[in-house]
Structure 1
């Protein structure tokens, strides 16, 4: 069994354990009016939280809340009746609001309005006006969707369900599929006319929302993001090789590359090399690790028989064809070393903001990762003021170490 399969099986087992806990564990209740970080969840499509009420208790099909994100795509708000036979979801695509509605034999998808992923707080209001669903942004109507079916009964009975950052129906019902994960925060919510709290998984730990944000992927010193290289852009020319570029301010292990019988680590590790396994750390003169607040650029180049960091050859071996290994599938991990090995345990996980990750010139979205730790923020980092806290933590770590 190859390395990638072993890791996927391990992660699948952990997910099943968490799923069983979610099914059997007690629900946790969260204030519906407080600040809620939508980013940190374990399952892509399962909502972060949900609530339900009898339709007979509803006097106004109207919800409003403040919303902030730098993420261009993801699920924001969901609602349904008739146990999911009639449903609605508000999401972002390219930063623009998109509403999809399923009712009887009809599926509708409409996208429009201003971009919302500018990092500013926006007041969103969703309401039903007869056969129309209306989206307002900052008290201005941005999107109106009309829908009518002769197969639908107008008399609504039973329950209505609401959810955040996910869906309660199968994703296969979507007219226009999208990536559901969203790095966003909401606050000051009013959901229909209900004072009900949100229900969420009892194991979920609420994460604070940064007071000020900037673009990037934030690694708090816990967890990694893993990709299968066969899913990433591949070789263009042998001379140029495959290039991974990282821009930002960080400390700790930047990345690792693994396949069966091979491991390369770019971080604060002692270097050693043998025939079956390669474990290399940064050279003392390398510029690829930076304190938070000190911008840095790392260029990691994969050539046919060598690995190069910032134009300095780190590994040369005629016995390995890295181009073939990349195409077949290796595990490229940002932020540390995956698994439960001694090497993984000794890793100093990356702490800081990776403002941009490029593979062959294409931006890499952590939401597309094979696995991403729930503590990571895919599209937002704290601003420099917050980074001072990170820098202080790093200095304290050095003094203690």
Structure 2
């Protein structure tokens, strides 16, 4: 059995090199009519896949080696990575003006990371991440920040109705810690050094390397935070909050709760309660 397809021709279209660590997702989408004529280039389990739909054929083709190894690959673009000397339909691709210049370049050497463009956020149900120690009560979060720019939230603990119970806010290359219990504090940001947040019933400690700031909590201060783990609506927010217009953009090489690394690629379809809006990018 044989069949033929109409020729697909894109004049002067070249993608010279790209690299990624992300195994799943869409690289490129194109159409002349979104209902009748479209195609997608993406990765599934690290390998290229092309679903095609038009008047002549509806099919999905997947083949080739895995491309999610962080190396440069010629003419086989990979998910959410950096492009080098890209050229689409004879026009130089334009980088979004909302992404700071410092976050647009592609370093020659790279490590795995998750890039959050401005306005991007993710939500984790507290039921699905490691719980606090009970005796004595304690909870810790560690963020590996590679890049950061702009102004907006990095992280928050709360509920969808009230996400501000405890939050970390990026502003002027400082991390601002605030809570519902009272005034907050600030810590100058050091990129490339793990940012640590430790909670107890009496205080919140924010540290990076040798620098440390302590936010004392009043006797009834931690009660709202303790209650977060007792309700189904408790959330760990990463990046922009649902009610926030944020200009912050940043790249993480990891997020740890109670010393355990959280998986940014989990989704509700995989049996978890992780919700992502404007999904963060698997960068390099």
Partner of 2:283: 380
Change (3 A) 1:310 1:363: farther
The match for 1:216 is 113
Call closer, same or farther: CA 1:323–1:299 in 2, change over 3 Å.
same
In the alignment, structure 1 residue 323 sits paired with structure 2 residue 229: yes
Alpha carbons of structure 1 residues 264 and 237: separation in structure 2 relative to 1, 3 Å: closer
Conserved? CA contact 2:142–2:194, under 8 Å: no
2:145 pairs with 1:248: yes
Q: Unaligned regions of 5+ residues in structure 1, if any?
A: 1-54, 125-136, 139-164, 166-180, 382-401
SS of 1:379's equivalent in the other structure is strand
Q: Tell whether the 8 Å contact from 2:127 to 2:229 is kept in structure 1 after alignment.
A: no
**Where do 5+ consecutive residues of structure 2 fail to align?**
1-5, 170-174, 208-213, 268-273
Kept in 1: contact 2:124–2:236 (CA 8 A): yes
Do 1:336 and 1:350's aligned partners in 2 also have CA atoms closer than 8 Å?
Answer: no
1:66 aligns with 2:19: no
Q: Name the SS for the 2:229 alignment partner.
A: helix
Measured against aligned partners, the alpha-carbon deviations of 1:64-111 in whole angstroms (never above 9, x if no partner) come to: 422313233332234556775354321012332112233569653343
Give the structure with higher Rg (CA): 1
1:391 maps to which residue? none
Name the CA distance, whole Å, in 1 between partners of 2:10 and 2:147. Answer: 48
How big is the alpha-carbon RMSD for the aligned residues of Structure 1 and Structure 2?
A: 5.1
Q: What is the alpha-carbon distance in structure 1 between the residues aligned to residue 263 and residue 93 of structure 2?
A: 35
Counterpart CA distance in 2 for 1:65 and 1:250 is: 26
TM-score by length of 1: 0.44
Correspondences of 1:199-278 after superposition (within 5 Å): 205=97, 209-212=104-107, 213-218=110-115, 223=118, 225-230=120-125, 233-234=128-129, 239=134, 244-249=141-146, 254-259=154-159, 260=161, 263-266=165-168, 268-269=175-176, 277-278=180-181
TM-score, normalized by length of structure 2? 0.57
